[in-house]
Copies of this chain bind each other. A is one copy, B any other.
């Protein structure tokens, strides 16, 4: 049994680099040699025990790598090809997938739907913070990286960019819309970039960290609001002449940001929620217009699949959006515990880290 290094969840508070066997390749799988991966905010929730996973699981869901071995039934790819796969790896064949709801893929269930079922890497199967990664349903999920794009340039595609853009897409932003984006961490920054890509012409970025507000401007925010200095609801109502925003995007996962998003929403507007919440949410009666405001609230789990990845890499290649500044720190895999330490405590202005092999 050939072994590899992998970042493994041991117990709440401990993710360690350990030895695990390189996995066997089933007929529909592909084995990828990871060349770059990263750590996600969700991984920190796992580390802290706030999101439960099995002990012994390899963490990580943002892979860039080289095809090492293809399953016997996989066609259309070559070993040695450079690829990415989405954080979400839908089967393509469940009832949920066939309805266009790939992230809630229930392949293997009786009826074909499963909440969050498309999220497998670092959740229900071993993930990408390792030397090798087994990609299930490879033909649905492997997307070749165009020549001319570096690993780091496509590193945001599997999750951060796909999720952030989904906030703008599911919010159904139209040309000329006014949009507020609550929180400007990596996903909020991508939501800001996505809002601009969709044609929003007034984008208001909200956060508390000056460096993130500055990055928000680079990603397309026309105004930034530091909610440690001003009340963001008052400020946004002032900026919109009392009307509110057409679309409010929540990108943190707290009652405060969710509620502020609702409070700044114009009647008939859309609240597009990306955050991972850790408790019940409250919809206050007034801002919710007692249920009569023609509001829409949508939540989104990161869209995956190779066509999504192809499109996002196309965005990168076009130069429309430049996410390279989001990678602020770099580590080799053998120093991943240090990377967790830095990223988990948001030290040194970290936005995202790149993890490469030793």
Binding site for B on A (CB under 8 A): 26-28, 72-73, 75-76, 91-93, 95-104, 107-117, 137, 139-140, 165, 168-169, 174-178, 194, 196-199, 201-202, 222, 240-244, 253, 266-268, 273-285, 288-301, 305-308, 310-312, 314-315, 317-318, 320
Contact = CB atoms under 8 A, between A and B. Distances in A.
Contacts of A298: 294-297
B169 A197 contact: no
A95 B177 CA distance: 13
B267 A306 contact: no
Nearest to A307: B98
Nearest to A163: B292
Contact of A268 (B104, B282, B306): B104
A307 B95 CA distance: 5
Main secondary structure of the interface of A (DSSP, over half): loop
B75 A73 contact: no
A171 to B, nearest CB: 11
Assembly stoichiometry (copies): 4
Nearest to A312: B176
Nearest to A317: B201
Given A241-B111, A280-B285, A101 B294 contact: yes
Given A73-B28, A296-B298, A291 B318 contact: no
Contacts of A165: 175
A277 B267 contact: no
29 contacts: A27-B72, A95-B310, A98-B308, A99-B268, A103-B294, A107-B139, A110-B242, A168-B175, A169-B175, A176-B311, A177-B311, A196-B320, A198-B199, A201-B314, A201-B317, A201-B318, A202-B314, A276-B292, A277-B285, A280-B284, A281-B285, A281-B288, A282-B282, A283-B283, A289-B299, A292-B299, A294-B299, A294-B300, A295-B298
